[in-house]
Amino acid sequence: MSRHSQDNRAQDSQEQPLMEQNRQRLFGGSQIRYQHESSALGCTMLFSVYLPPGACKEQTVPAVYFLSGLTCNDQNFSTKSGAQRVAAELGVALIIPDTSPRGEHVADDEGYDLGQGAGFYVNATEAPWQSNFQMYDYITRELPALVEAHLPVNERRAISGHSMGGHGALMIAARNPERYQSVSAFSPIVHPSACPWGEKAFTAYLGTDKDVWSEYDSVELIKENGWHLPLLVDQGEDDEFLKEQLLTRDLIAVVQDCADVRIRFQSGYDHSYYFIATFIAEHLRFHARHLRAE
């Protein structure tokens, strides 16, 4: 898709109303779930936001975008991570999108690792997925334009994610380093072209040309273009998906000479939200330092 088309979709999103679904007071701020009509995805979408105390039209705040993993939606991170307490302290918003387009008219698959709940943050080119599965455009253009047009959130962004969402965060930042101040990930799928989850999703969404796959593969992108942002990755040593699906060592190999990169293996931790909850405060403080830096 051309940059012109992406910008048109972003402009369309600014003109779409946000419909508030629910709101809770939380650590002096607000946890809110919004609904909107997505022009990028051609369906109704939900996303969650945490606004810290003091966020208002006169005092906008930076944001951490958190991308979730397979089978998740916008509420898993909202309800399980405990991130809001630290976000309130730091004065940082949390923007938590869904993991795919949704709806009866949206293509799906019987497997948990393809279709609704498994968008892989790519722009699909293959039938029947291409009509709705344009998650790359949604995350990089439409959603930030919508958020920054309607909420007290400014253009200073960080991006993070877990598992499939960790893949999304790394890949999107590798392709758009000018849009983010920092990146972090929990248990990311770092080399999707070389693991079963990625091979299945990329074949379905993008076809069989592996040159196209490389446009959405963090390891391949970094090999080609280098890495240019502060990065923090945590990976549990007891993660059952580490050896076959996540391939963390492949990421280490391509960023070992890059500045301000930390990849940590955490003894005894698995792939769950207990792992995320343990280290989310460190990740948010990492992002806050870079979001505040001029």
Active site residues: 163, 239, 271
Q: How far is CA 195 from CA 39, 105, 108, 188, 192, in A?
A: 31, 29, 21, 12, 5
Tell me the H-state helices in the chain. 3-15, 75-80, 83-90, 135-137, 143-150, 164-175, 196-206, 210-213, 218-225, 248-255, 273-292
Three-state SS string over 220-275 comes to: HHHHHHCCCCCEEEEEECCCCCHHHHHCHHHHHHHHCCCCCEEEEEECCCCCCHHH
Residue 171 is encoded by which pair of tokens? 């890949």
Q: How far is CA 115 from CA 3, 119, 125, 267, in A?
A: 26, 6, 14, 33
Asked if 128 and 74 touch (Cβ cutoff 8 Å), the reply is no
- In the block, tokens 């039938």 appear at 127
- In the block, tokens 């105390």 appear at 53
